[in-house]
């Protein structure tokens, strides 16, 4: 039966081919005839459609698999010497299969040694580490219960782990209940304070509001927001004639052809250095509402796309009423 073996040579193999008087090319082919029919049982050799024995090298980057046929064919890639007979090809394929099986065996031995070392280390852990080593490490649990399901050491260790886990679970549940109770108490306290605040605001409206506001408060239909706004306006009544601060908008800064794509960066900071007009306004504010906290502030807005910017100044007035703060912001000159 005819045979055709295709294989490739490495750099050393090409040099050896040249020393033997061959062409020294990377891709080589061995052809001939054989009467040995047992060659059909060798992995890596098949019968082609033309009825001849055939083998060729697999790609060097082929994924590893358990098929001896593929492992044998990888022996035909980057050979260090040219083949002169079919027996040499078969020997090389057998050697490749043997080497691959030995490599796998060594790899399994290495993994088994690592696993045994991991198990020994796990068994040496104190009981206080069980939460981390037993319940939070799925890999170790798998190794122990997968390879040693009937080991008495595992049974004893599991009992201790279960007891410790129950104890830790009870502690965690108690902490959870305390956290829930604390949150509920805080929410109840905040709700109680909010109700007390609303009652005080409505009491103030009943005493200081307009006739219509007092009547609606008595009837229980007074909107709380309206009552709160009325209280805020009364606190800042002395500043009613002062101009309120207007926020900087994109139209004030952006000069882009596509303003929707222009992004603004805003920064607000308190300032301590004032011009004469600014300081005069600050003194006037303090004289009008002595109990308020007046803070000069600078607002800086920059448009990133068109590299434009704008700065405005303001006076922030904060008044405190029954422990609650109310604020208004007023315009301040440059």
Q: Which two tokens stand for residue 213?
A: 């506001």
Residue closest to 41 by CA, chosen among 72, 85, 66: 72
Torsion of CA 212, 218, 223, 227, to 10 degrees: 70
Q: How far apart are CA 76 and CA 90, in angstroms?
A: 10
Q: How far apart are CA 45 and CA 61, in angstroms?
A: 20
Below-50 pLDDT ranges, the chain: 59-65, 126-148
Tens digits of residue pLDDT in 120-159: 666 665 444 444 444 444 444 444 444 445 556 556 666 6
- Three-state secondary structure call for residue 330: strand
What pTM value is reported for the model?
Answer: 0.45
Sign of the four-CA dihedral 109, 114, 115, 116: positive
Q: How far apart are CA 163 and CA 131, in angstroms?
A: 11
Instruction: Tell me the helix, strand and coil percentages in the chain, rounded to 5.
Output: 55, 20, 30
Tens digits of residue pLDDT in 238-248: 988 899 999 88
Q: Which two tokens stand for residue 26?
A: 């990377």
Q: How far apart are CA 324 and CA 200, in angstroms?
A: 11
Residue closest to 34 by CA, chosen among 104, 88, 98, 74: 88
Residue closest to 300 by CA, chosen among 311, 313, 286, 316: 311
Angle at which helices 152-208 and 211-219 cross, to 10°: 130
Q: How far apart are CA 199 and CA 196, in angstroms?
A: 5
Residue closest to 39 by CA, chosen among 96, 100, 85, 101: 85
* pLDDT score for 318: 92
* pLDDT score for 35: 77
Q: Which two tokens stand for residue 9?
A: 């040579």
Whether 160 contacts 194, CB under 8 Å: no
- Three-state secondary structure call for residue 238: helix
């Amino acid at each position: 039966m005819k045979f055709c073996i295709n294989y490739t040579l490495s750099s050393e193999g090409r040099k050896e081919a040249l020393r033997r008087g061959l062409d020294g090319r990377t891709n080589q082919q061995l052809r001939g005839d054989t009467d040995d029919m047992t060659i059909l049982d060798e992995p890596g050799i098949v019968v082609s459609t033309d009825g001849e024995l055939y083998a060729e090298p697999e790609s060097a980057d082929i994924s590893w698999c358990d098929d001896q046929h593929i492992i044998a064919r990888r022996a035909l890639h980057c050979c260090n010497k040219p083949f002169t007979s079919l027996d040499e090809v078969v020997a090389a394929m057998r050697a490749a299969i043997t080497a691959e099986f030995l490599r796998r065996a060594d790899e399994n031995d290495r993994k088994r040694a690592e696993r045994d070392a991991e198990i020994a280390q796990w068994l040496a852990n104190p009981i206080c580490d069980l939460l981390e080593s037993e319940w939070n490490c799925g890999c170790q649990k798998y190794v122990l219960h997968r390879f040693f399901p009937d080991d008495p050491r595992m049974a004893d260790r599991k009992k201790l782990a279960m007891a410790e886990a129950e104890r830790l679970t009870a502690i965690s549940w108690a902490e959870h209940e305390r956290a829930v109770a604390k949150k509920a108490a805080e929410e109840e306290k905040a709700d109680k304070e909010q109700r007390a605040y609303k009652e005080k605001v409505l009491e103030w409206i009943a005493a200081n509001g307009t006739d219509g506001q007092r009547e609606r408060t008595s009837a229980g239909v007074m909107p709380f927001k309206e009552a709160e706004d009325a209280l805020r306006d009364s606190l800042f009544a002395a500043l009613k004639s002062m101009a309120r601060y207007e926020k900087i908008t994109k139209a004030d800064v952006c000069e882009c052809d596509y303003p929707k794509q222009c992004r603004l960066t805003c920064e607000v900071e308190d300032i301590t250095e004032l011009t004469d007009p600014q300081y005069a306004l600050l003194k006037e504010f303090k004289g009008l509402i002595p109990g308020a906290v007046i803070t000069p502030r600078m607002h800086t807005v920059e448009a990133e796309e068109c590299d434009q910017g704008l700065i405005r100044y303001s006076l922030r007035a904060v008044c405190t009423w029954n422990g609650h703060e109310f604020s208004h912001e007023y315009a301040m000159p440059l």
